[in-house]
Chains A and B, each alone.
Chain A
Amino acid sequence: MGPEAAKKNWVGKPLPRKEEDRLLRGRGKFADDIKLREMLYLRFVRSPYAHAKIVSVDVSAAEALPGVVATLTGAELAPQVQPFIEIAPDPGGKIKDYALAVSKVRYQGEPVAAVVAESPSLADDAAELIQVEYEALDPVIDGEEALKDASILHEEAGTNRVWRGVFEYGDADKALKEAAYVVNIDRMHFHRFSSTPLENNVVIAQWDPKDERIYYQCNNSFPSFAIQFLAAHLQVHIDRIRVQTSDIGGSFGIKITTYPQMAVCAMASKKAGGRPVKWVETRSEHMTSSAHGNERTFRDTRVALDKNGVITAIVSRHIDDCGAYPRYEPLGCVIWSQVFPGVYRFKNARIDFSQAVTNKCPVGPNRGYSRMQHLWFLERVVDICAHELGIPPDEMRLRNYIRPEEFPYTTPNGCVYDSGDYPKMLQVAKGLIGWDDWKKKQAEARKQGRVIGIGIGTTLDSGTNNFGQSQIVNPGAPFSGNSQGANCKLDIYGEVVVAVGSCPQGQGHETTAAQVVADVLNIHPDLITVRTGFDTERNVHTGFSGTYASQFAVSGLSAVHGAAQKLKAEMKRLASSVLNTKEDDLEFGAGAQGPEVRARSTGKSINYWGLANIVNVNSAVLPVEMHDVTLNCRYIWRAPFKVPDTVKKYGSLTLTYASQLHIAVLEIDRETFIPRILDYVAVDDCGTVINPGIVEGQVYGATAHGIGAALMETCVYDAVGNMLTSTFSDYTPITAMNMPKVKYGHTETPSPHSYSGAKGMGEGGAAPIHTVSAALQDALFADGIFIDDSFNNADSLFRAMVGKEISQAKQLVRVERRT
């Protein structure tokens, strides 16, 4: 057996995570673990009103409290900064967004003032002493209501409709005219929920008066984006902002939009003479005022179908509610179109998409960001149409799925689905759950008056964005493509050190990056140190670095792979000179003195220490023609994207499309109305798997998040904009006790779009939300109840089934039969 054949492939192995030892022993280093000399603590004073004018802010009593170092108000801050960049074009672009409210407040929990003091409890004491006088305004709580502009949030914009665009492909009107059936659905609603990372937001900021630099230690999950917003806002050179992240206790996208809090901490540090300022968000702050997921209403949907139940067109009006400030939005207004037709083949569609501001917490990317709302909509459409046409839901899907032989598949809006096999996933999932058995049991149970439903959810997790899609929202946006950086080096003693521009929050980047490099150099992953956590000064980041949007397996690991290849090429050049042999005579592996490069012909070798020594500390022996060898290789990977056609809203928006197929069997108790999952299968296809253990873990996490969202977690506001779910007692995030046993299945269609065949998969498409809705729907069709909301719990099921208050199909669904 030759040495190449003996080579171990680390990619694909369920290698235990390198970071586990540290994290499970409580030795992780999180932002709040950092204590600095002379550190001050910041507390926000927040609005109790959803919509109000600020009449006055009196900080005098707070400033008089011993131990208080400074206070800040919106009025004081505004003249010193630029309003935050708006990604939206006008009218949304006219919005003036400051980190502290200036003349009015627009959601309950909005920061109005800040105070910094010598201790956290003193800061709390001082915050209580800040007197704010408000004059209440009419709150706007519902997205559709907001579009009527009866009460305007942002006078500068003149309207609550901050963005509108019509996404039209094919000829939907013709398809509707020629259809055998047209199904009309009045209204559906995707609810507002969030992620509840174990670790809340944390910012430490130091505005160093000596060199006018700002040093952040924080847990923002997209720092390269944050610094672009901060530099413009604070009017400092971007290279004067250092952002460093360490371990992060979960983000799920929600930690992308913390730049306003970061701005306040920097300004507070500046006012406090450069002392470091720490802000640690409380759970209630997190629930009321970090970021929520997008809420969306689907109106006036018309679905055209042929006589076989094949969908030929969908026309609909979608209203996205982004809360009080668009911030990262309106990117969500286009991001959903990455999965425009979902997993289905229909070619004609017209979606009239608007985004409204309301007096609620601003939204931010939330696992499944903007696509899950749309995918849920499509899955509801498919199930309702199937039911109206009398086609079983599995059969309906098979008739409408994009077929395996059609990949790579170009969608009506120009996205290219790289690979997939949805019928096979359905088959695997049905096998795992015992579909036929459950169908029988369901029929028997029905006879006994029990209410059981079986539902399928098929979803996509589109990964590695083409940021050019921002130009569909705003043709002036200066972003396109996608890139990621990595650095791979031999350190002075020959240690292999990899640095990436990501800031993982549990995704195991240290492990997967080590697996990739281990295969390139043919050494054990334990010999590779991976530096994760963002650091502007490590110089491996690009403008897209961070951890978000299901992409590390593609963008991050492609960069790591590129850097490792570059390093390997340099090592080869150097070794061939030292060992006096041709490069193709060299092989990489482990020797008696650690990892080495060997000449096959002579058996002579040089270990990594030897190579690093020549370059770093014994450089007089380095041949002149090798002076460009650094053994310190930076590689920037760029995604092969073009700028989309912004007029036609057409182009490739994401590189890879992982798919998920879940099936749930669920029973609604006739007496308590508590829905209980009896059986659950999650089948995942994310192309070539780099680490099966990590993938499986991500699937379980995403499944829990989705089941929680479907049955337990919702952000509720009352009619005047009080948030009623600001604590865990009210929001009830899912716990292990609420989880059914999940059967995990796996199929694999390698992506032709990534070097390894892998696809991003961290978001998971929110498959459980679609699946649970489908199962509830299956259970309740017979009762004339229509699952028109993505959130359902015992109470809402009771109100639908007994109270007949909500979700009555007769009022919501109408079918035109033309045959």
Chain B
Amino acid sequence: MYPRAFHYHRAGSLTEAVTMLSQLGDDAKLLAGGQSLIPLMKLRFANPGHLVDLNFISGTSYIQEEDGGLRFGALTRHAEIADSALAAKIPIVHDCAAGIADVQVRNRGTIGGSLAEADPSGDWAVVLMTLATEVRCLGTNGERTVPLAGFVKDAYTTALAHDELVSEVRVKIPAKGSGGAYIAFKRSAPVYPTASAAVQLTMDGDVCKDAAIVLGCVGLTAIKVTDAEVALRGHSFTDKAIKAAMEAASAAADPQSDMRGSADYKRTLVGALVKRAIEAASHRARGEQVEVSHIYA
């Protein structure tokens, strides 16, 4: 339960952190909230020789509105996002932040660390895939912007070079008439979901103008269900349309059997979660205030 010995470095700025990474090489890892990295180190599954701590860099934790978008500093904690009125302008973002694990994890874990970890069960990528999201990446050669869809490459794999870090996450605020919801089934609060569904809808009266539907925990990365989106787009929410979306979601899911449930069950479950998220999202798209909460065993 104790990590192997490592060298600890405290970075004074993000640029310095990048320099340290490039100098220390492959054996170095960034430390943000530590809520993924530290447990792995304690189990000795991850054994970095150097840790570069980002936590003491000022100005890396913020939520700002600019040009119709929200900018999240890489070190912004889940809890800060959950508590932020600004972030609540995108209700699905609030759903996500408020539903991650428990208070302790939310107080430490960061949005940047979460995306960089690219855990197949992580919540952020699932939710942010339903929105226009860009990840700002800072490297030795300066900063670049990567659309989220291109940022997550595979389970635990991102577009980041070794000496590159996430500096900021930018999310476009959806237009009026658009609403989203994120619902997961969790066996208990401090565990990753069994399956989850993020739905962002743009409504024109009763007709769905646009839909983004993304599934979590049922594949190596978040799964965007184009067939389900097509099933809704241009339609009103008849039982038939919703059923088609549920079925498309179940078909697109590619889950593994594990302690969270059998693959068959997860496939069925994720369809049901999509249905519930559609319902909540459609209310929100109509401007109604609806509380959305995960389902706990």
Residues of A within 8 A of B (CB): 120-121, 124-125, 128, 282, 284, 669, 671-674, 711-712, 716, 724-725, 728-730, 732-735, 737-738, 793-795, 798-799, 802-803
**6 nearest CB pairs, A to B:** A121-B2, A671-B272, A795-B261, A730-B259, A798-B265, A282-B1
Query: Which residues of B268-296 are within 8 A (CB) of A?
Result: 268-269, 271-273, 275, 295-296
State the CA gap A121–B5 with chains docked (Å).
8
User: Can you list 13 A-B contacts (CB < 8 A)?
Assistant: A671-B268, A671-B275, A672-B269, A672-B272, A672-B273, A672-B295, A712-B188, A712-B297, A793-B297, A794-B185, A794-B269, A802-B264, A803-B264
CB pair B190–A712 under 8 Å, yes or no, is no
User: A672: which of B185, B262, B264 is its contact (CB, 8 Å)?
Assistant: B185
Report the Cα distance A728→B188, complex, angstroms. 10
Residues of B within 8 A of A (CB): 1-5, 43-44, 185, 187-192, 194, 258-262, 264-265, 268-269, 271-273, 275, 295-297
* B1 A124 Cβ-Cβ under 8 A: yes
For A284, the chain B residues whose CB sits under 8 A away are 43
Cross-interface CB contact of A802 among B189, B191, B268, B273, cutoff 8 Å = B268
Asked whether, in the complex, the Cβ of A794 is within 8 Å of the Cβ of B189, the reply is no
User: Bound state CA distance, A674 and B296, in angstroms?
Assistant: 9
How far is B151's CA from A50's CA once the two chains are assembled, in angstroms? 41
Chain B nearest Cβ from A278, distance in angstroms: 13
In the complex, A284 Cα to B1 Cα: how many Å? 9
Is the Cβ of B190 less than 8 Å from the Cβ of A735?
A: yes
B265 proximity list for chain A (CB < 8 A):
673, 794-795, 798-799
Given contacts A121-B5, A802-B268, contact A794 B261 (CB under 8 A): yes
Q: Which residues of B contact A711 (CB under 8 A)?
A: 297
A724 to B261, CA, bound (A): 12
Chain A residues near B297 (CB-CB < 8 A): 674, 711-712, 732, 738, 793-794
Q: Are B189 and A735 closer than 8 Å at their CB atoms?
A: yes
- Chain B residues, Cβ within 8 Å of A120: 1-2
Chain A residue at minimal CB-CB distance from B261: A795
A16 nearest CB across to chain B (Å):
27
Q: Please, which residues of chain B bring their CB within 8 A of the CB of A799?
A: 262, 264-265
Partner of A732, one of B191, B258, B275: B191
CB distance from A194 to the nearest CB of B (A): 15
Contact at A738–B268, with CB atoms within 8 Å? Answer: no
Contact A724 B185 (CB under 8 A): no
Residue numbers in A under 8 Å from B268 (CB-CB)? 671, 673, 798, 802
Q: Are B259 and A724 in contact (CB under 8 A)?
A: yes
- Whether A735 touches B2, Cβ cut-off 8 Å, given contacts A712-B297, A802-B268, A803-B264, is no
- List of A residues within 8 angstroms of B272 by Cβ: 669, 671-672
Report how far A671 CA is from B44 CA in the complex, Å. Answer: 40
Min CB distance B267 to A, Å, is 10
Q: Which residues of B contact A794 (CB under 8 A)?
A: 185, 194, 261, 265, 269, 297
Give the docked Cα–Cα distance between A721 and B188 (Å): 25
Could you tell me if A798 and B188 are in contact, using CB atoms closer than 8 angstroms?
Answer: no
CA distance A125 to B2 in the complex (A): 9
CA distance A729 to B119 in the complex (A): 14
Q: Closest Cβ of chain B: how far from A671's Cβ, in Å? A: 4
Q: How far is the CA of A733 from the CA of B102 in the complex (A)?
A: 14
**Chain B residues whose CB sits within 8 angstroms of the CB of A729 once the complex forms:** 190-192
A738→B188 CA distance, assembly (Å): 7
Give the distance in Å from the alpha carbon of A670 to the alpha carbon of B297 in the complex: 15
**With A669-B272, A716-B259 already in contact, 6 other A-B pairs whose C-beta atoms are closer than 8 Å:** A121-B5, A674-B295, A794-B261, A795-B260, A795-B261, A798-B265
A-side contacts of B192, CB under 8 Å? 729
In the complex, the answer to whether B259 meets A128 with C-beta atoms within 8 Å is: no
CA gap between A803 and B263 in the complex, in Å: 12
CB-CB under 8 A from B259, the residues of chain A are 716, 724-725, 730
> Smallest Cβ distance from A290 to chain B, in angstroms?
15
Across the two chains, which residue of chain B brings its CB closest to A802?
A: B268
Across the interface, A734 reaches (CB within 8 A) one of B44, B188, B271, B295, namely: B188
Q: Which residues of B sit under 8 angstroms from A724, Cβ to Cβ?
A: 258-259
- B188 adjacent to A737 (CB under 8 Å): yes
Q: How far is the CB of A129 from chain B (nearest CB, A)?
A: 12
The distance from the CB of B296 to the nearest CB of chain A, in whole angstroms, is 5
A716 contacts across to B, CB distance below 8 A: 259
Compute how far the CA of A798 lies from the CA of B262 in the bound complex, rounded to whole angstroms: 9
Closest B residue to A728 by beta carbon equals: B190
- Minimum distance in angstroms from B19 CB to a CB of chain A: 29
Hey, which chain B residues are within 8 Å of A803, CB to CB?
A: 264
Taking the closest CB of chain B, its distance from the CB of A604, in whole angstroms, is: 62
* Residues of the A chain whose Cβ atoms lie less than 8 Å from the Cβ of B185: 672, 674, 794
Residues of A within 8 A of B269 (CB): 672-673, 794, 798
Look across to chain B and name the residue whose beta carbon is closest to the beta carbon of A280: B1
B295 partner residues in chain A, CB cutoff 8 A: 672, 674
* Distance between Cα atoms of A799 and B264 in the complex (Å): 9
> In the complex, what residues of B have CB within 8 A of residue A793's CB?
187, 297
- CB <8 Å contact, A128 and B44: yes
Complex: how many Å from CA A716 to CA B262?
14
B residues less than 8 Å from A673 (CB atoms)? 265, 268-269
Decide if B190 touches A798 in the complex (CB within 8 Å).
Answer: no
Nearest-Cβ distance from residue A596 to partner chain B, whole angstroms: 52
B296 in complex: contacting residue of A728, A733, A737, CB < 8 Å:
A737
In the bound complex, do residue B262 and residue A124 qualify as a contact, i.e. CB atoms below 8 Å apart? no
With both chains docked as a complex, state the minimum distance between the C-beta of A490 and any C-beta of chain B, in angstroms: 47
Residue of A nearest to B271 (CB): A671
* CB-nearest residue of chain B to A803: B264
Q: How far is the CA of A793 from the CA of B185 in the complex (A)?
A: 12
Closest Cβ of chain A: how far from B122's Cβ, in Å? Answer: 14
**What chain A residues lie within 8 Å of B190 (beta carbons)?**
728-729, 735
Distance between Cα atoms of A369 and B42 in the complex (Å) = 34
Task: List the A side residues contacting B188 at CB < 8 Å.
Answer: 712, 732-735, 737-738
Closest partner residue, chain B, to A282 (CB atom)? B1
Residues of B near A802 (CB, < 8 A) are: 264, 268
**Contact across chains for B296 and A125 when beta carbons are under 8 A apart:** no
In the bound assembly, the distance between CA atoms of A121 and B1 in angstroms comes to 8
Say how far B286's CB is from chain A's closest CB, in angstroms: 23
| Across-interface contacts of B3 in A (CB, < 8 A) | 121
Q: How far is the CA of A798 from the CA of B271 in the complex (A)?
A: 14
Cα distance A374–B190 in the bound complex, in angstroms: 33
Pairwise interchain contact B191-A124, C-beta atoms closer than 8 A: no
**B258 cross-chain contacts in A, Cβ below 8 A:** 724
CA separation between A120 and B191, bound complex, in Å?
A: 27
In the assembly, what is the distance between CA of A129 and CA of B194, in Å?
A: 37
**B195 to A, closest residue via Cβ:** A672
Identity of the chain B residue whose Cβ is nearest the Cβ of A119 in the assembled complex: B2
A716 to B261, alpha carbons, bound, how many Å? Answer: 12
Nearest CB in chain B: distance from A598 CB, A: 56
Q: How far is the CA of A120 from the CA of B5 in the complex (A)?
A: 12
B30 CB to closest chain A CB, in angstroms? Answer: 22
Q: Roughly how many angstroms separate A794 CA and B270 CA in the complex, as a whole number? A: 13
Q: Indicate whether A728 sits within 8 Å of B191 (C-beta atoms), given known contacts A674-B295, A794-B297.
A: yes
What residues on B are CB-neighbors of A737 within 8 Å? 188-189, 296
**Cα A618 to Cα B97 with chains together (Å):** 71
Residues of A with C-beta under 8 A to B191: 728-729, 732
Q: How far is the CB of B251 from chain A (nearest CB, A)?
A: 16
**Shortest CB–CB separation between residue B218 and chain A, in angstroms?**
14
Q: How far apart are the CA atoms of A711 and B297 in the complex, in Å? A: 8
B189 touching A124 by the CB < 8 A rule? no
Q: Which residue of A lies closest to B295 (CB)?
A: A674
**Shortest beta-carbon distance from B15 to chain A in Å:** 33
Residues on the B chain within 8 Å of A125, using CB: 4-5
Cβ distance B247 to chain A, nearest Cβ, rounded Å: 13
Alpha-carbon gap, A734 to B191, bound state (A): 12
Measured in the bound complex, the distance between the Cα atoms of B43 and A793 in whole Å is 29
CA distance A415 to B296 in the complex (A): 42
Q: How far is the CB of B215 from chain A (nearest CB, A)?
A: 14
Bound complex: CA A698 to CA B63 (Å): 45
How far is B191's CA from A698's CA once the two chains are assembled, in angstroms? 27
Bound complex: CA A671 to CA B2 (Å): 43
Contacts of B43 in A (CB 8 A): 284
